[in-house]
């Protein structure tokens, strides 16, 4: 059987990607490093004819004496252009691959797949990360995306979305409320929510905001700040329950969120975690606080569930013992807690991956290459 031959430049990524795809088909080609061993005139002519190109179409411009020699000038004949290529092999574009199925100039490198007699054995991505073939040997459709950094771009990885090993421990839920009043309805509603979570097998912790300093009003190692941060880190989901005050969430609820950093080293206390929002108010029905907490949840990169609870005229909804009376409001709280537990089970194994961002992967890669460049100085 006729050999596969690649006219190769090891310094060229396109040439290296092409060679790697030939090998990924289980073929070890004859490698001609044509800058060191240029083809003779008859071979070069035969290759050009087999590719159906003219000598002019095989000329390479980038990094060559092309412009210096004025090769754009139409008066050069095919024979003269061949002479130039034989004298300056850099002018021969690359890589040229000849197989029993045909001869091609493999630019882009995946053109080689059209003439390889054997299929790809494994998934293949180019050196810059652009995927070419998936695990089943199928060509990956890659639209024209000139501004995309293919090394940082990641189409969804199903194994990370649905890991084989799923956690089975009880969901861990942290509940925050936004009042320090003795008989606080946002606290009573939070305690009601915690019971409903426990009834579904969840572990719950309620943070007591009393004694928490103002944001930046104490060092990070203040015991209440430490406690809050540890609970946030421990949790896999959260409930935020605020009173409505002057048409907004309370500063007490907001202060708790402000003390939770988006990132502490590799730890991300909120990112990718499920969140349910609830509010109590003194007036008739209002949604200002829950709407604002949704904005906050987005800011903390949390997965705020669709359902929410807003208990109007909260002073009418709790009995002397502090328990919530039966009502449509109570039923809504049950709905919200059921939904929160389902979302927690569904997402907690993949939560860091769900909020993993292309722009941040890019930034990290750029910072790393800057550090490497500095280290090599």
> Where along the sequence are the contacts to ligand FMN (CB under 6 A)?
179, 181, 184-187, 243-247, 280-283, 286, 314
Name which of 286 and 307 has its Cβ closer to ligand FMN: 286
Q: Which of 224, 134, 189, 231 is CA-nearest to residue 336? A: 189
Per the listing, tokens 């328990």 go with 323
What is the C-alpha separation between 97 and 116, in angstroms, rounded? 10
| Minimum distance, C-beta of residue 190 to ligand FMN, in the bound complex (Å) | 9
Per-residue tokens: 200: 């579904």
Name which of 132 and 314 has its Cβ closer to ligand FMN: 314
| Minimum distance, C-beta of residue 184 to ligand FMN, in the bound complex (Å) | 4
| Minimum distance, C-beta of residue 181 to ligand FMN, in the bound complex (Å) | 4
Q: Is the peptide bond before 108 cis (omega within 30 degrees of 0)?
A: yes
Per the listing, tokens 């030939």 go with 22
Name which of 198 and 288 has its Cβ closer to ligand FMN: 288
The number of C-alpha atoms within 13 Å of 94 and in the hemisphere containing its C-beta is 31
Per-residue tokens: 341: 């537990």
Name which of 106 and 241 has its Cβ closer to ligand FMN: 241
Torsion angle, alpha carbons of 342, 244, 313, 211, to 10: 80
What is the C-alpha separation between 97 and 30, in angstroms, rounded? 10
| Minimum distance, C-beta of residue 277 to ligand FMN, in the bound complex (Å) | 15
Cα distances (angstroms) measured from residue 111 to each of 61, 102, 104, 115, 134: 20, 11, 7, 8, 16
Contact status, residue 32 vs residue 8, Cβ threshold 8 Å: yes
Name which of 39 and 243 has its Cβ closer to ligand FMN: 243
Name which of 97 and 206 has its Cβ closer to ligand FMN: 206
Cα distances (angstroms) measured from residue 222 to each of 10, 206, 280: 59, 18, 29
The secondary structure of residue 264, as a DSSP letter, is: B
Name which of 30 and 181 has its Cβ closer to ligand FMN: 181
Name which of 313 and 361 has its Cβ closer to ligand FMN: 313
Angle between helices 78-87 and 41-51 (to 10 degrees): 120
Per-residue tokens: 73: 């000038």
Per the listing, tokens 């090394």 go with 151
| Minimum distance, C-beta of residue 249 to ligand FMN, in the bound complex (Å) | 10
| Minimum distance, C-beta of residue 354 to ligand FMN, in the bound complex (Å) | 32
What is the C-alpha separation between 107 and 93, in angstroms, rounded? 9
| Minimum distance, C-beta of residue 250 to ligand FMN, in the bound complex (Å) | 7
| Minimum distance, C-beta of residue 293 to ligand FMN, in the bound complex (Å) | 14
Name which of 75 and 246 has its Cβ closer to ligand FMN: 246
| Minimum distance, C-beta of residue 282 to ligand FMN, in the bound complex (Å) | 3
Q: Which residues of 204-242 are buried (b: 16+ CB within 10 A; e: fewer)?
A: bebbebeebeeeeeeeeeeebbeebbebbeebbbbbbbb
Residue 344's contacts (CB-CB under 8 Å, 6 or more residues apart) are 171, 173, 202, 236, 237, 274
């Amino acid at each position: 059987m006729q050999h596969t031959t690649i006219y190769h430049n090891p310094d060229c990524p396109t040439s290296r990607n092409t060679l790697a795809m030939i090998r990924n088909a289980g073929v070890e080609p004859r490698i001609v490093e044509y800058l060191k061993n240029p083809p003779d005139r008859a071979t070069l002519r035969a290759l050009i004819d087999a590719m159906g190109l003219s000598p002019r179409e095989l000329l390479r411009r980038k990094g060559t004496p092309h412009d210096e020699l004025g090769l754009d000038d139409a008066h050069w004949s095919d024979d003269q252009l061949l002479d130039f290529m034989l004298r300056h092999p850099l002018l021969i574009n690359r890589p040229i691959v000849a197989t029993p199925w045909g001869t091609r100039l493999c630019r882009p490198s995946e053109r080689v797949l059209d003439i390889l007699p054997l299929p790809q054995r494994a998934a293949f991505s180019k050196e810059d990360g652009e995927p070419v073939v998936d695990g089943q040997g199928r060509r990956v459709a890659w639209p024209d995306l000139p501004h995309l950094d293919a090394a940082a771009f990641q189409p969804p990885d199903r194994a990370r979305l649905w890991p084989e090993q799923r956690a089975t421990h009880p969901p861990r839920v942290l509940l925050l409320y936004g009042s320090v009043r003795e008989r606080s309805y946002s606290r009573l509603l939070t305690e009601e929510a915690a019971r409903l979570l426990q009834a579904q097998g969840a572990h719950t912790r309620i943070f007591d905001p009393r004694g928490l300093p103002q944001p930046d009003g104490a060092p990070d190692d203040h015991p209440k700040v430490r406690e809050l941060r540890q609970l946030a880190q421990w949790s896999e989901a959260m409930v935020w329950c605020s009173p409505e005050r002057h048409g907004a969430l309370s500063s007490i609820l907001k202060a708790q969120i402000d003390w939770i950093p988006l990132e502490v080293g590799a730890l991300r206390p909120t990112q990718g975690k499920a969140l349910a929002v609830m509010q109590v108010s003194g007036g008739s029905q209002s949604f200002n606080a829950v709407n604002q907490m949704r904005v906050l949840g987005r800011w903390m990169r949390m997965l705020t569930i669709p359902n929410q609870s807003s208990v109007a005229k909260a002073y009418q909804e709790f009995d002397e013992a502090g328990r919530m009376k039966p009502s449509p409001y109570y039923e809504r709280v049950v709905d919200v807690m059921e939904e929160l537990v389902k979302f927690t089970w569904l997402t907690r194994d993949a939560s860091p991956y769900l909020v993993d961002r292309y722009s941040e992967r890019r930034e990290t890669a750029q910072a790393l290459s800057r550090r490497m460049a500095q280290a090599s100085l």
